[in-house]
Amino acid sequence: MLHLLHRQRVVHLLRTEGPLARADLADRLGLSRPSITAIVGELIDDGTLIELDDRVEGPGYRGRPRKLLGCNPQARRVLGIWIDERRARIALADATGNISREEETPTAGRTPASVIRSIIRIGKQVIEEATDSSVAAAGICLPGFVDSTRGFVIESKALGWSEVELGKPVSDALGVPTAVQDTTQAMTLAETIAGEAREVRSAVLLNCGGHFNVGLIIGGRPYPGASGVAGAIGHMPVAGSQAKCACGRIGCVNAGMSLHAMQSVAPHTEGMPLKEIDLDAVAQETARNPHSQKIIGDVIDQMARTAILIEAVLDPEILILSGLITEFEELIVALEARIEEIRPPERRGRTTTVRSQIGRDYRVAVIVALQQLDPDIAGLLHTPSP
């Protein structure tokens, strides 16, 4: 698996900062020259990378000019599909991850079957119109309890879906392998390949938004657990909590450790999508209200304490703060500060807290889809074949 991740990191580096020579790749990724030579050879052979006409040389340069490497944008294309409470977004991307087309369909108030039909209709249209290159795979991300081995949605409280077969109908209709992952697991995979965890052996990702879940990276690879749902703690009960969760139960983690748990400080925002709330305006309104500040402070405190507990269990190199909270500066700063404040003395200096730079949208689904292009990784993701 580590070799496969190195392959993906080579592609990502060239995708974001290329073209580069082999020696540059070795230096940037901390790999030996023979390792880079072998990896690059594999990627050229399967059509993912190409050697460019440009060569590295210039004043003061001695020796033979070095050939530059780049991603082959015409190799294969993928569909990245991100489903949330409001809409499903379908993005067409080339093998380098560059998105050339985006479509969407609403999800709110619709049945799973209706949403799936719309995704298939749009997907077919996009595939038919992608005349310059074939579409080779799809990746679907959605919040919930997902069995990625079967592409099966066991439960998604956010979407109101239960016992929904998703991967197979999409794969069968579009004629391409289709991976289905919970958004937190998908974000963890993205961080491992292209984000803050690409150069570490162990990490914990906290997905803090409308829900609160955990992603694990152990031994340099995402750890999905025995059945693929490791870290899905959002609807686990918290002892003593009387907070009502959106799922209808009392005391869930999400009820006390999510941005939704803060909405009671601004009743006029109840029911509004978090993306549509002006948190700066809410912050100004609640700044002089001690009760509101206590609610916000309590939620931040519970998030931080949970983070420290998980950190103590796994002893990771980095703790990645991810999800919607990273888009609201005041809240993410408060969470970072609280984590540092309550971190026990014996744990200080052992784990570094960082913010995700990847975000949470269809680009993560594209990364999930791109992994299907490598048959070994596709097998690890349990991708169904059409």
- Residue 378 within a domain: no
Tell me, yes or no, whether 382 lies in a domain: no
Structure tokens at 111: 């049945």
> Does 179 lie in the same domain as 272?
no
pTM passes above 0.85: no
Buried b (16+ CB within 10 A) or exposed e, 200-238: bebbbbbbbbbbbbbbbbeebbbbbeeebbbbbbbbeeb
| Residue 305 shares a structural domain with residue 269 | yes
Residue pLDDT, tens place only, 325-365: 888 888 899 999 999 999 999 999 999 999 998 876 778 88
Predicted local distance difference test score (pLDDT) of residue 140 = 95
* 219 and 368 housed in the same domain: no
Query: What is the tens place of the pLDDT at every residue in 273-295?
Result: 656 667 667 667 776 677 778 88
- In this structure, is residue 289 part of a structural domain? yes
Phi, psi of 364 (to 5 degrees): -65, -40
Rounded to whole angstroms, how far apart are CA atoms 96 and 92? 11
CB count, 10 Å around CB of 283? 18
**Helix, strand or coil for residue 222?**
strand
Instruction: Report the CATH number at residue 8.
Output: 1.10.10.10
Amino acid at 16: T
Q: Are residues 255 and 288 in the same domain?
A: yes
Q: Is residue 386 part of a domain?
A: no
pLDDT tens digits for range 301-317: 999 999 999 999 999 99
138 has a pLDDT exceeding 90: yes
Same domain, yes or no: 1 and 130: no
pLDDT tens by residue, 145-195: 898 888 999 999 889 999 999 999 999 999 998 999 999 999 998 898 878
Most confident of 4-13, 111-120, 123-132: 111-120
Q: Is residue 383 part of a domain?
A: no
* End-of-domain residue from the set 71, 97, 112: 71
State the pLDDT at residue 80.
Answer: 93
Asked if residue 341 and residue 205 are part of one domain, the reply reads yes
DSSP per position, 63-98: SSPEEEEEE-TTS-EEEEEEE-SSEEEEEEEETT--
Q: Measure Cα distances from 172 to 249, 310, 311, 380 in Å.
A: 36, 39, 41, 20
- 67 within a domain of the structure (yes/no): yes
* pLDDT at residue 380, as a whole number: 40
Higher pLDDT, 366 or 337: 337
Highest mean predicted confidence (pLDDT) among 52-56, 105-109, 227-231, 369-373: 105-109
176 and 317 housed in the same domain: no
- Looking at the fold, whether 215 and 67 belong to one and the same domain comes out as no
pLDDT tens profile 42-88: 888 877 788 886 555 544 445 566 789 887 766 678 899 999 988 99
Last residue of a domain, one of 41, 71, 101: 71
Domain annotation covers residue 384: no
Range of the domain at 247: 197-355
385: in domain: no
**Residue 168 shares a structural domain with residue 298:** no
Same structural domain, 86 and 66:
no
- Asked whether the predicted pLDDT for residue 386 surpasses 60, the reply is no
Domain with 268 in it: what CATH number? 3.30.420.40
Structurally, how many domains does the chain consist of? 3
Instruction: Give pLDDT, residue 338.
Output: 96
Domain boundary among 55, 71, 87: 71
Per the structure block, which two tokens stand in for 220? 């340099």
Whether residues 182 and 67 fall in one domain: no
Q: Could you report the per-residue pLDDT of 192-222, keeping only the tens digit for each?
A: 887 889 888 999 999 998 889 999 999 888 8
Are both 201 and 287 inside the same structural domain? yes
The pLDDT score that the predictor gives to residue 193 is 80
